[in-house]
Amino acid sequence: MLQATKKFLNFTVYSLGLTCFLGTGLVSCSQFSFDNVKALGANVTSVRELQLQKNFNATVYIQGKVERKVPLLKRQAYLVNDSTGQIWVITAQTHVQKGEQVVIKGKVRYQPIPITANKDSGEIYLEEE
């Protein structure tokens, strides 16, 4: 009985390991992309939607490619492009690299930049939570 249990466990561990190995190989050899993947089941908002809605203080998920990286005092700023537009993300993360695909959760913020009495050239950005 004990020997049968050991054989069953060995077979199970072997099968799981082989499945993980083959699955990893298939994904790494394919043209798998995060472009159409939703963030952990959450709704990803496009940059264009953020700019049109102007729903400041809303918490959203965005997904896209890091185009630029700018160091700030104790923070980083990343320009994220999602093919509908670009948005700056302010975060404490320092490990994100240019060209990397990211999914970020943050609060929509707005920084006004008054040009004249009737003109504002402000910009929407995301502050990561």
CA–CA distance, 104 with 61 (Å, rounded to integer) = 5
Amino acid 3: pLDDT: 61
Q: Is residue 76 classed exposed, middle or buried when 0-12, 13-18 and 19+ CB atoms within 10 A define those classes?
A: middle
Amino acid 16: pLDDT: 53
Backbone φ, ψ for residue 55 (5° rounding): -90, 80
**Alpha helices in 1-129, H assignment, sequence order:** 2-29, 47-53
- pLDDT per 10-residue tile (average), the chain, 129 residues: 55 52 48 44 83 85 94 92 94 90 92 79 86
Classify domain 47-128 at the CATH class level: mainly beta
Amino acid 85: pLDDT: 94
Backbone φ, ψ for residue 27 (5° rounding): -70, -40
Amino acid 14: pLDDT: 52
Amino acid 120: pLDDT: 75
Amino acid 90: pLDDT: 94
pLDDT tens, position by position, 68-79: 999 988 899 999
Q: What is the pTM of this model?
A: 0.64
Amino acid 31: pLDDT: 40
